[in-house]
A and B are shown apart, each in its own frame.
Chain A
Amino acid sequence: NAGVTQTPKFRVLKTGQSMTLLCAQDMNHEYMYWYRQDPGMGLRLIHYSVGEGTTAKGEVPDGYNVSRLKKQNFLLGLESAAPSQTSVYFCASSYSPSGGITDTQYFGPGTRLTVL
């Protein structure tokens, strides 16, 4: 099993450009998450999904959109990148048939994004 993979690993954008980050998991997990990590801030939830075709907002959703067309994939989009979106982005997944309260989240290796 590859676990949780993220593409790309690094990216540099100019202000106003758009891009999509791809997260894939091969563990048949129902729940998937996108976090951003900033120095001294810990990880903050951007969006999450509790199953194929469903998404919901997390703590810091502004400026991002997501889609979960396939169970194994969770895409994070930036329509018009801003310097404030410079961060490290982590995807995670968990197996949650009954609600997910105690399930472990498995994290990908991260995508380092710089917006100039």
Chain B
Amino acid sequence: AQSVTQLGSHVSVSEGALVLLRCNYSSSVPPYLFWYVQYPNQGLQLLLKYTTGATLVKGINGFEAEFKKSETSFHLTKPSAHMSDAAEYFCAVRNYGGSQGNLIFGKGTKLSVKP
């Protein structure tokens, strides 16, 4: 069975600083991994996804994530935080089990950006 662990329920950075949100996964098969962002009082929006191929994945709004099989990680980064990046971020892995197409989400990391 697949699972996702997000380290840190709340991360605070200063504007212009590096953003690093951590995600580790557990999967007995090659995983398909996703990062979603949720702005206040809104639904989730896809930031980026890894399926196969290049392990460094670029997404929207300047975010990127690197799939590291040896570390079972898929950390999300952005070189320079903007105030508009304040949101909750969810890492997810595709479920290969009975509910085909289902996403298994981490518990989320809330990102705060200080001026």
Cα separation A96 to B106 with both chains bound (whole Å): 23
Given A4-B43, A40-B9, A43-B90, A105-B103 contact (CB < 8 Å)? yes
Residue of A nearest to B42 (CB): A109
Cα separation A100 to B32 with both chains bound (whole Å): 11
The reply to whether B101 and A96 contact each other, CB–CB distance below 8 Å, is: yes
Indicate whether A79 reaches chain B with its CB closer than 8 angstroms. Answer: no
Indicate whether A1 reaches chain B with its CB closer than 8 angstroms. Answer: no
Give the size range of A's interface with the partner. Answer: 20 to 34
Complex partner residue of B51 from A48, A102, A109, CB under 8 angstroms = A102
Indicate whether B49 reaches chain A with its CB closer than 8 angstroms. Answer: yes
Binding site for B on A (CB under 8 A): 4, 31, 33, 40-45, 48, 50, 56-59, 90, 92, 94, 96, 99-110
Cα separation A107 to B36 with both chains bound (whole Å): 10
Summed over the interface, the residue pairs from A and B with CB atoms below 8 Å come to a total of 69
Complex partner residue of B43 from A48, A90, A94, CB under 8 angstroms = A90
7 closest Cβ pairs, A-B complex: A100-B101, A107-B43, A42-B105, A107-B44, A42-B107, A43-B105, A102-B51
**Smallest Cβ distance from A27 to chain B, in angstroms?**
14
Cα separation A57 to B102 with both chains bound (whole Å): 11
The reply to whether B108 and A48 contact each other, CB–CB distance below 8 Å, is: no
**Smallest Cβ distance from A16 to chain B, in angstroms?**
28
Q: What residues of B have a CB within 8 angstroms of the CB of A109 in the complex?
A: 41-43
The reply to whether A33 and B102 contact each other, CB–CB distance below 8 Å, is: yes
